[in-house]
A and B are shown apart, each in its own frame.
Chain A
Amino acid sequence: MALLEVDDLVVQFYTDDGVVRAVDGISYEIRAGETVGLVGESGAGKSVASLALLRLLRDPGEIVRGEIRFDGRDLRECSAADLREIRGNDIAMVFQDADAALNPVYTVGEQIAEAIRAHEPVTDREARERAIDLLERVGIADATTRYSDYPHEFSGGMQQRAVIAMALSCDPALLICDEPTTGLDVTVQAGILELLADLARESETAIQLVTHDLGVVAELCDRVLVQYAGEIVERAPVEDLFYDPKHPYTAGLLASIPRLGDDRNRLATIPGTMPSLVDPPTGCRFHPRCPFAEDACARRNPSLVGAASGTSAVDAGPDAHLAACLEYTGDLEAGLDYEVQVRDGSETGADDPCRERNPGTRRGETR
């Protein structure tokens, strides 16, 4: 049994324009200790899917279908008190924009200590000492003094570290990081990523990393889920995804990463924009933007199947490379016409395997 099992989760928002299905039937699992990336453009429903796990959605958002099983318990069914026990204790969240995520009128230390006090029978002093240890662990110098600082006295990177310390306070089995490095300077980002990488390596904590940044995914994740317009369109172990993307959307995402030594004048982009989720396209949701779309794509919504076997996700097994494209059920006449170029490390000089062999794609000449 996996630590977290999400099955056919559907989240809707009731807006003036109509019902928005921000998350439309996603299923995935996270095993203890592994790091899983959830990537996609803004508006793909990544953050909504993450908030839904702990039932943190606010009106007008609502989970309308699906199961969220954590350690065998269905989080949708459990009582408010049980859910409170799980929040912060078994599953913790790291939010983007740490400046806003911290309450401006309480000290950083107090905000960490209160999370400990909420779940464990500790004295105020013990909670304080543990909070100071946590601040040290996430790399905040002079933690004892810094404990009494207010959030506005912290830099952006330190605030994000404090938010991570808060999430780690009760040794959660699962850490959900929602765009943890968005809005930070590149050097600060690197520091935060290193911290998360250390965490993933040293502790037993599983991480669900929500990001739009494929570079971050390459650095940290074991497996990746690619989300588009509320659906998961590809799932793969991280290396397979980068070396051999199976979904045209993933291929487009990878092609749009800028690279050193690139001789193109412009960055590759995926034409068009994410469709409106009030009125999503018929068939495959990506077909209006897909260079390889055929008539069938507008009629049939492909299901997520094993890219090699063409069998259903369940039959293909937990580590199989899955993609939601008619190509893999044999329904595409011309097939997908792109190839991945893997560059060797001499150009960038980096020794990180993912950065070293940056994959690229080439589209069909006619497009």
Chain B
Amino acid sequence: MSLGRYVLTRISVAVPVLLGVTALTFSFIHALPGDPIDALVGFRSVSPATEASIRAEYHLDRPIWEQYLLWVRNVLVLEFGESPITGRNVAATVGRRLPATLALGGAAWLLALAIGVPTGIVAAVRRGGPADELSRLAALAGIATPNFWLGLVLLLIFGVRLGWVRVIPPDAPLASLAMAKFMLLPTITLGTASAAFVTRLLRSSMLAELDAAYVRTARAKGLRERTVILKHVLRNALLPVVTITGLQLAFLIDGAVVVERIFSWPGMGRLLVRSILQRDYPVIQAGVLLIGVSIVLANLLVDIVYAVLDPRIRY
């Protein structure tokens, strides 16, 4: 089977997954106490007639399954509706916030790999040496530090005391130097734990591979140690790392609520939390769909990279 067909199959498998996830959230939100009508009318009492007309306007008078099907039908034509709370177009709201979230999550992910992969390699090759011990300590600290604390401390030191960076985002486009500079601290805050995780994971998987017989063969051929490590050992050792970092990518993109809050980052996380508190159904649904899609995509990416790295995995 070709890679193209493999990808298509995987995507078609993703469709029922996404339907299931959104259907579940749909029913769960409606099972929560609280009614969007209350938020809509500003928690005043309104006449039953007014309430009924508002319900009808947002299809809230229909059974849940019908509401869900209506939503699915609209999503298929990329119509996410309007927020009954803010009155804004959901697609536009999400569309404005998504790039910010993707930029921060992606940057944190790249940072995690840029630090974790080289450190993991060095720690494994110099096992038991000072570099290994140091990386072990650093990784332990990185994993054990809660990111809200790290973010606040970084902000306090570099933003407030030293004044090197702004405390809130600059009024600049996302792809600008000022924004890139501001993103430094949130990226570090978000990426540190992942970097530590990648370091430890790659170290242990490198150590396992270093004992493999093919490593001895490679050395016996007279290859440079550098080639032995980076060409032969690393590619095999990366397989478990790929699985984890793929899922981390999804996690970093979806799970940055706390960090977004600390750095006033206009991302999806804050939008979602607010929407849940306000029972803003269309925005929640759009957000959940997006999270589902990003996890499915991350998994797909993992599978593809896996198949490319290891020819034994037949697709």
Contacts and interface: CB of A to CB of B under 8 A. Distances in A.
Interface in B233-251: 235-236
Contact of A104 (B218, B221, B225, B312): B312
B214 A92 contact: no
Interface string A75-116: 000001000111111001101010011111110000100110
Contacts of A111: 217
Nearest to A117: B223
B61 interface: no
A84 B220 contact: no
B213 interface: yes
A115 B221 contact: yes
B310 interface: yes
Contacts of A84: 222-224
B221 A163 contact: no
A54 interface: yes
Interface in B194-215: 211-214
A166 B217 contact: yes
B222 A101 contact: no
A85 B222 contact: yes
Given A150-B312, A152-B312, A95 B222 contact: no
A252 to B, nearest CB: 31
Interface residues of B, number: 22
B216 A95 contact: yes
Contacts of B309: 105
B219 interface: yes
B136 interface: no
B304 to A, nearest CB: 15
A118 interface: yes
A119 interface: yes
Contact of B223 (A56, A118, A152): A118
A56 B236 CA distance: 21
Nearest to B314: A152
A151 to B, nearest CB: 9
Contact of A105 (B216, B225, B310): B310
B222 A93 contact: no
B10 interface: no
Q: Which of A85, A88, A97, A105 has the most CB of B within 10 A?
A: A105
Contact of A103 (B217, B220, B222, B224): B217
A92 B211 CA distance: 20
B222 A104 contact: no
Contacts of A89: 222
Interface of B: 211-214, 216-225, 227, 232, 235-236, 309-312
**A-B complex: 8 closest residue pairs judged by Cβ atoms:** A88-B222, A87-B222, A100-B213, A88-B221, A103-B214, A115-B221, A93-B220, A150-B311
